[in-house]
Each structure stands twice: as structure tokens, then as C-alpha cells.
Amino acid sequence: MTTQVVRRGFTNTVSFSSVRALILLLGLLALVGLIYLGQSSQATVTGEHVQNLQEQLDRLNRENAQHQYDIAVLTTPSKMADRARALGLRPALPAQMLFLTVKNYPVTVARVAPSTNSQTPSDSGVSSLWQVFLARLGLSSSARTVEATTNP
């Protein structure tokens, strides 16, 4: 009897359309919740992936820096020099250098050296060198002489 009264009360007060609207609302809320959950879980997964990649990047960068340092330690100028000496190499002296004057090079230079012979410091006399030097500084009348003798 009581149940009936209550049930009858409900049927009297709640319409079908209201229930339908309520269900629709709940369904919408559930959908929104589902979408939010899906999005946030996707963001979480992506976040974790990004974090892992970042850690991997940091790790590789640190290992890379370590390798660069190790290479630098192995190739210091002093170690390279020691290795070169061990291979029988030795520093050259100016007198051991062979310089070639290339004719008409660079091409923009008007005055061209006629000689293509290699010359070493021992070949040159101090006095002639001095004259050339003074000519270069523009402090000697022999400048023209030098130019005349070097022109073809």
C-alpha cells in the first residue's frame, strides 16, 4: 500500500520527457568525461614519451660531451707532437722550406716575378735583400732599379 502510494506519487510528479532529458544530460556528461579522460590519458602517455625522449637526449648529450673531451685529451698538441716525433717527423727550419714563385699569380698583380726557380734564405745576399726591403718601404731610390730588374 505504501509502495503504491510512493510509486503513484512518482508517476504523478515525474514526466517521461523529464527522465529522457535527465538521461540525455547524464549521457552527455559521461561523454564529456570520457573525452576528457581519453584526452588526459593521451596527454599523460605523450608526456611520458616526451620525458623519456628528453632524458634520452640529455643522456646522449652528456655522453657526446664526454666523448668530445676524451678525443680532445687524446689529440692535445703535445701528444700529437710526441706521436709525430715517434713517427720520425721533426719540425722544419726556414732553410729547409722550398718556396716556389708562381708566374703571374695572382693574376691581378701587375708586376710579375720572372723567376720560377725555388729560392731558400741561404741563396739571398743580405745587401740585395736590404735594397729590396728599402724599396718596399719607399725609402730608397733603388726602388725603380729593383722593379726594372724584376720586370721581364
Partner 1 sequence: MPAQGLSRTPLRMRAALIVLMTIGVLLGARLFYWQIIRWDDLSQRATDQRDYDTVLPARRGDILTSDGVLLAKDVFLYTISISPKGLRQPEQIAADLAPILGQPRDALLAKLKTDANSVVLARDVPASVGNAVIDYKNRINLFSMSVTAKPTRLYPNGSFAAPIVGIVNAERNPAYGIEQFKNIDLRGTDGKVHGASNALNDPIPFDVPTNIPAVDGATIVLTIDSGMQRIVEQELANAIRDSKAESGSIIVMDPKTGAILALAVYPTADLNKFFDPANQGKYANQVVGAQYEPGSVFKIITAAAGLDAGIITPNTCYEDSGSIYIGGRTIKNHNDIAPGHVCLTDVLRQSLNVEATKIAISLGTERFYQYVQRFGFGARTRIEQAGEAAGDVKQVGDGRWREIDLGTNSFGQGIAVTPLQMIASVAAVANQGKLMRPYIIKSIQPANAKQPMETTPELVRQVIRPETAKTLTKILADAILGESGNKAIVPGYIIAGKTGTAQIPIAGILDPRWTIASFVGYLPADDPRFVILVKLDKPQSSEWGSQVASPVFATIAKQLVVQAGLPPDNVRLASK
By CB under 8 A, name the binding residues for partner 1.
2, 40, 43-48, 50-51, 54, 58-59, 61-63, 65-66, 68-69, 72-73, 75-78, 81, 91-95, 97, 99, 101-102, 105, 109, 111, 113, 115, 119-124, 126, 128-130, 132-134, 136-139, 150
Residue 114 CB, shortest distance to partner 1, in Å, is: 8
Rank residues 126 and 148 by Cβ distance to partner 1 and give the closer one.
Answer: 126
Residues in the chain: 152
For residues 49 and 52, give the distance between their C-alpha atoms in angstroms, rounded to a whole number.
5
For residues 6 and 118, give the distance between their C-alpha atoms in angstroms, rounded to a whole number.
122
Largest CA distance in the chain: 140
16: left (phi over 0), alpha (psi -120 to 50) or beta: alpha
Residue 119 CB, shortest distance to partner 1, in Å, is: 5
Residue 131 CB, shortest distance to partner 1, in Å, is: 10
